[in-house]
Amino acid sequence: MILPRTPSLRLDGRRALVTGAGRGIGLALAACLAEAGAAVTLVARSAAEIDAGAAAIRTAGGAADAAVLDVTDLDAVADFFGDRPAFDILVNNAGTNRPKPMLDVTRDDYDAILDLNVRSAFFVAQGAVKAMVAAGVRGNLIHVGSQMGHVGGPDRSLYCASKWALEGMSKAFALDLASHGIRSNTIAPTFIETPLTAPYFADGAFKASVLTKIKLGRLGTVEDLMGAVVFLASDASAMITGTSLVVDGGWTAD
């Protein structure tokens, strides 16, 4: 009897791009892809952060380089993808948030959140895909969404709007790109402890309100996302496209 074999979680020989990779979730996802064998390019606006991140990955035995890119500059995005070989994996992670009540949202808030979380994500994905299709690469798009792309949240009208949009975009990408062998999925984390979220959790009442919704009883960590991204990037998820891997400790199970 010949038993079936589990598809590999290794990413050897593949090239990965992670946006917003200078710290927090983006840096962790770059590290896990490199640990799985991918050659990773870290992208962000801050050269110091991504240079340090890439150096740390190389010290740990991985392959990594850094490229300064403002993903809101769409001409720069187009030039970036035109100047290098196609990537096999894109992790569309760059994003932002400005929590405030809907009545207090300004046009500047709207532009800042929707431009980065939706507009930039779309055109980064488009640039990556054009290169994949031209090179015949059966690639993989992973967009970092949020549990707030599946539910609503107080003081997060714009953030929810952007993350729900990302979910719809990814599903449509999956349909458009299936014939090219390119997959598109999201991961949807709960609140993750990072330098960006630390100020929010300094408010004890806010932290307590969050923990009442996370059924596993703790905040998420970047490590909670690393296995999910390696899975979606690998052959182990070869039949998965157009869906969302919700990493929320049970928040959306209610």
**How much is the average pLDDT of 198-211?**
92
Nearest to 30 by CA among 81, 20, 68, 139: 20
Chain centroid offset of residue 211 CA: 23
159 is known as an active-site residue: yes
**How much is the average pLDDT of 124-149?**
98
**How much is the average pLDDT of 111-137?**
98
* pLDDT tens string 76-97: 999 999 989 999 999 999 999 9
pLDDT of the residue at 112: 97
Q: Which of 87, 159, 164, 231 is catalytic?
A: 159
* pLDDT tens string 141-197: 999 999 999 999 999 999 999 999 999 999 999 999 999 999 999 999 999 998 878
Count of Cβ atoms closer than 10 Å to residue 249 Cβ? 21
pLDDT of the residue at 200: 86
Per-domain residue ranges for the chain?
15-253
pLDDT at residue 212 tops 90:
yes
**How much is the average pLDDT of 2-15?**
97
User: Which amino acid belongs to residue 67?
Assistant: A
Look up the CATH number of domain 15-253.
3.40.50.720
